[in-house]
Chain A
Amino acid sequence: IAGITQAPTSQILAAGRRMTLRCTQDMRHNAMYWYRQDLGLGLRLIHYSNTAGTTGKGEVPDGYSVSRANTDDFPLTLASAVPSQTSVYFCASSDSEADTQYFGPGTRLTVL
């Protein structure tokens, strides 16, 4: 089934640990995005990539890093997790930055 997959579905993490959230799409979309969603707030863009090999910072990039080695994969890394990074993380993709974004199922992350 075509679409976007994310792993893990959920994770509880001790503060200070390193964590990588995985995102893979099979739609050959050029653009990919990472958002966080917190109660009472809109989705906030963390990082994005308009094409393989390039990345950019969104609204809330601090404490996160990304890479885009190929078209399909866009992992998000928390180098040293803090409790304020407790959130639901959504990966999304679009054919280009000017097209509709489609979302993965999300990763629920709790940092204790």
Chain B
Amino acid sequence: GQNIDQPTEMTATEGAIVQINCTYQTSGFNGLFWYQQHAGEAPTFLSYNVLDGLEEKGRFSSFLSRSKGYSYLLLKELQMKDSASYLCAVRDSNYQLIWGAGTKLIIKP
């Protein structure tokens, strides 16, 4: 079966750095996405990786290792507004997105 694993919840301090991991087992691979979802709102797109390596976008970076079935999202200089759930999703061989359950990130002052 297809499976996306990510931690249920993480806590970090304002101004610090946090890494959210995602491991996957899917039928084929056509890219990995990270979305941010604030409570009661829609998911919003953060990043996309299809090749191995690091993609940097401001305070957010995303890394992919296809051979290990592994990705992480790195958030730097954490702000209170970064408190949200972070969703990892893999596009499979049918071009459908398989979603993890999300990681709830709590930022403390």
Is A bound to B?
yes
Decide yes or no: A42 and B30 within 8 Å by CB, A90-B42, A90-B43, A106-B42 being known contacts: no
- Residues of A contacting B96 with CB < 8 Å? 45, 48, 58-59
**A100 & B33 in contact (Cβ 8 Å cutoff):** yes
Measured in the bound complex, the distance between the Cα atoms of B87 and A58 in whole Å is: 19
Chain A residues within an 8 Å CB radius of B4: 42
- Of the listed stretches B12-20, B72-80, B98-106, name the one at the interface; the rest are far from the partner chain: B98-106
Counting CB contacts under 8 A, is A101 at the interface?
yes
Give the most central of B4, B41, B100, B101: most A CB within 10 Å: B101
Using CB atoms and an 8 Å cutoff, list the residues of chain B in contact with chain A.
Answer: 4, 30, 33, 41-45, 48, 87, 89, 95-102
A interface residue numbers (CB < 8 A to B): 40-45, 48, 58-59, 90, 97-98, 100-106
Which 4 A-B residue pairings sit nearest by Cβ, starting from the closest? A42-B99, A103-B42, A43-B99, A97-B95
